[in-house]
């Protein structure tokens, strides 16, 4: 099973990178957003200077990009592999909010590819949103993702560590946007494990699993959520070859069980088209069109697989 799950991407662990601790922020509310964005951009700029002084020019460039005046960072931590939470749109007025949860090998060094998925979704939402509907997308890199070529990608350990952070973040969104906003979690690859572990009782309207190796739950009902549970897999996604099993080996539980797109799981399976593992948010794709409909609540128009 290990060989099957550890396929296309590799990511060497980053040595500890000098950077300041995260900025001290006032509680996040609609009125403190601009101050938080400014403080986190300042933090990213400091991180860039420290990384450059240490000779890490790749990370310095990533930090400098984050510090650009147009970036809206709700959180930033340039230490180690790094974490960031970036907003696209106006959270304070949004009535539909999508939160993207990434999978393995996502760090500040690879953040641009994750950010591109958020940009693509936000652009499509702006185009498709009916009059009176305001939207925002959040790219949440709020946990230490596993490496695809690693043993950590085979267990729920990293996901379990992420759970309290994602739960607190959703609570923060509620404090910012209030009860008027419908929140959707769009979870990719190992990120589907994070979302499944966080799902019980979570205050969201929809949870979508994309290219999932399994979630650690046998059925959608086992997630103990009132959210609508969706799942999709592109026709060319290598994750189809992953054995969707769970087994105990030497005291560790490895694998994630039932395939979320299988009838046995019980999710609402929607069409993702011919795309591969990294194509769910590709502009013009079937999957992006359906994800847009899910976020906007236009569920009757979602095309089923």
Q: Do the strands 228-232 and 206-210 form a parallel or antiparallel pair, or are they unpaired?
A: parallel
- Model confidence, pTM: 0.91
pLDDT classification of 7: cutoffs 50, 70, 90: very low
Average pLDDT taken over every residue of the chain: 91
Rg of the chain (C-alpha set): 19
Q: Is the pLDDT of residue 252 over 80?
A: no
- Alpha-carbon distance 126 to 133, whole Å? 9
| pLDDT bracket for residue 151 (50, 70, 90) | confident
Note the pLDDT tens digit of each residue in 43-60. 999 999 999 999 999 999
Question: Is the pLDDT assigned to residue 9 strictly greater than 80?
Answer: no
Taking only the tens place, the pLDDT of each residue in 55-101 is: 999 999 999 999 999 999 999 999 999 999 999 999 999 999 999 99
Quote the CA–CA distance of 128 and 295 in Å, as a whole number. Answer: 11
């Amino acid at each position: 099973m290990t060989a099957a799950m550890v396929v296309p991407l590799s990511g060497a662990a980053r040595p500890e990178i000098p950077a300041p601790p995260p900025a001290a922020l006032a509680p996040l509310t609609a009125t403190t957003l601009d101050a938080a964005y400014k403080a986190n951009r300042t933090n990213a700029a400091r991180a860039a200077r420290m990384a450059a002084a240490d000779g890490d020019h790749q990370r310095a460039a990533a930090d400098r990009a984050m510090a650009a005046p147009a970036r809206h960072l709700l959180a930033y931590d340039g230490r180690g592999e790094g974490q960031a939470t970036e907003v696209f749109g106006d959270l304070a007025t949004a009535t539909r909010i999508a939160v993207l949860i990434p999978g393995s090998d996502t760090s500040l060094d690879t953040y641009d590819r994750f950010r591109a998925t958020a940009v693509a979704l936000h652009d499509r939402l702006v185009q498709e949103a009916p009059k009176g509907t305001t939207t925002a997308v959040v790219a949440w890199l709020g946990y230490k993702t596993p490496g695809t070529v690693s043993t950590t990608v085979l267990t729920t350990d990293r996901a379990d560590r992420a759970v309290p952070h994602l739960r607190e973040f959703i609570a923060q969104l509620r404090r910012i946007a209030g009860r008027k906003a419908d929140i959707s979690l769009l979870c990719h690859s190992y990120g589907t494990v994070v979302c499944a572990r966080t799902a019980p009782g979570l205050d969201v309207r929809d949870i979508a699993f994309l290219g999932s190796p399994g979630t650690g739950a046998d059925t959608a009902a086992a997630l103990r959520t009132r959210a609508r549970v969706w799942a999709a897999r592109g026709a060319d996604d290598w994750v189809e070859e992953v054995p969707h099993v769970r087994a105990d080996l030497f005291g560790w539980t490895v694998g994630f069980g039932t395939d979320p797109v299988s009838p046995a799981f019980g999710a609402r399976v929607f069409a993702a088209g011919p795309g591969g593992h990294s194509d769910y948010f590709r502009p013009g794709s079937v999957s992006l069109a359906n994800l847009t409909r899910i976020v906007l609540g236009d569920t009757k128009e979602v095309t089923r697989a």
